[in-house]
Amino acid sequence: MPELKSRQVSQLPPLQAIRVFEAVARHLSFTKAAGELGMTQAAASYQIKLLEERVGAPLFLRRPRQIVLTEAGQRMAPAVSEAFALLGGAYAAARSGADGVLCVSTLLTFASNWLARHLGSFQVAHPSLAVRLDTSNRVVDFTREDIDIAIRSGGGNWPGVEVHKLFNADFTPMLSPKLAASIGGVKEPADLLRLPILDPGDIWWRDWFIAAGLPVEELAKRPGSSMGAQAYEANAAIAGQGVAIVTAALFNAELADGRLIQPFDLVGDDGHAYWLVYPQARRNVPKIRAFREWILAEIAGQ
């Protein structure tokens, strides 16, 4: 039996060629596959040529502006993808189980206004798993950075990752009760024109003004200051410095205790949401599975 296994392994084509095939089959593009693997398109084409010679049949049909899998390629692609997923899962499981450190990349406001207020229950359930937060607006590269899981804002269409929608990234104006009282209350959208606007260059303001029937050109007349994060703008609004436009789901506590008020039911929605994302090949890693199950249940229970 060991001799049979040895012969089977020796009959496999070079791993690099199989790796290139998996990427090209997934993207149906030599250019995208080469970019993902950090090689030239010519090098990727060469690896596919070697593999086709070993298989004894073409794996792709080259057509103008596109490529498609041949019948042989279609038979091979699912098994190769599954094999790489198994390898990735085995490696990740060997590297770390449900214990150790879970590295989470997240947006600053989500970290401060949602995770920090809920993470205690996860730590109670998983006392041997330490959570390290990396707060940044950038999209991390899971293949090059020591990040296990991420919270992203956007359309949810990132290649190579599993995505789970958490909640919509909608937006609406908020301000302090004291600032609203300074003009006798905010009763209609036009009342906002009598108050300072925080970060008037934010596209959310433009969209909300249009939906509310307010003149967009008024925004250009305001000082173009920007704080770079909803958490900062909300703190400025709480201090009475102006009106912020933020995602209501991230400020439930501030609304509940009266530090902020949401004067209008009108909410903008540009199709973006907050998402939990992680590499597809690592979906069964115990610590990732534990965090995924916890946060989805926590969101559903809100």
Render pLDDT for 258-299 as a digit per residue (tens, 0 to 9): 999 999 999 999 999 999 999 988 888 999 999 999 999 999
**Two domains, one topology: 2-69 and 172-256:** no
Give the DSSP letter of residue 201. Answer: T
3-state DSSP call for residue 156? coil
The mean of the pLDDT values for the chain is: 90
List pLDDT tens digits, range 201-253: 999 999 999 999 999 999 999 887 888 899 999 999 999 999 999 999 999 99
Residue 159 pLDDT > 70: yes
Residue 63 pLDDT > 60: yes
Architecture label for domain 172-256: 3-Layer(aba) Sandwich (3.40)
pLDDT band of residue 64 (cuts 50, 70, 90) is confident
CATH of 2-69, one of 3.90.1170.50, 3.40.640.10, 1.10.10.10, 3.40.462.10: 1.10.10.10
pLDDT band of residue 66 (cuts 50, 70, 90) is confident
pLDDT band of residue 13 (cuts 50, 70, 90) is confident
Q: What does the pLDDT read at residue 160?
A: 85
The domain spans of the chain are: 2-69, 101-165+272-301, 172-256
CA 60 to centroid of chain Cα atoms: 32
Residue 8 pLDDT > 50: no
Q: What does the pLDDT read at residue 92?
A: 59
Burial per residue of 10-22, b for 16 or more beta-carbon CB atoms within 10 angstroms, e otherwise: eeeeeeebbbbbb
3-state DSSP call for residue 7? helix
Among residues of the chain, what percentage have pLDDT more than 70?
93
Q: What does the pLDDT read at residue 223?
A: 85
CATH of 101-165+272-301, one of 3.40.190.10, 3.40.50.300, 3.30.420.40, 3.90.25.10: 3.40.190.10
Average pLDDT over residues 42-49: 92
C-alpha–C-alpha distance, residues 148 and 34, integer Å: 24
User: Quick check: pTM over 0.85?
Assistant: no
Q: What angle do CA 82, 159, 205 make, to 5 degrees?
A: 155
Average pLDDT over residues 49-58: 91
Average pLDDT over residues 129-145: 88
| 74 Cβ neighbours under 8 A, 6+ residues apart | none
Q: What does the pLDDT read at residue 95?
A: 55
Name the one residue in this structure whose structure tokens are 């950090």. 38
Q: What does the pLDDT read at residue 3?
A: 37
Residues 261, 267, 268, 270: what is their CA dihedral angle, to the nearest 10 degrees?
Answer: 110
Residue 89 pLDDT > 70: no
C-alpha–C-alpha distance, residues 168 and 179, integer Å: 28
pLDDT band of residue 96 (cuts 50, 70, 90) is low
Do 70 and 61 form a contact (C-beta atoms < 8 A)? yes
Average pLDDT over residues 182-195: 96
C-alpha–C-alpha distance, residues 260 and 186, integer Å: 13
CA 94 to centroid of chain Cα atoms: 25
Do 211 and 194 form a contact (C-beta atoms < 8 A)? no
Instruction: List the alpha helices (DSSP H) in the chain.
Output: 2-10, 15-27, 30-37, 41-55, 71-95, 108-110, 116-125, 177-181, 203-212, 217-220, 230-238, 252-256, 286-300
173-to-235, 237, 247 alpha-carbon distances in Å: 13, 10, 9
Strand partners, 261: 175
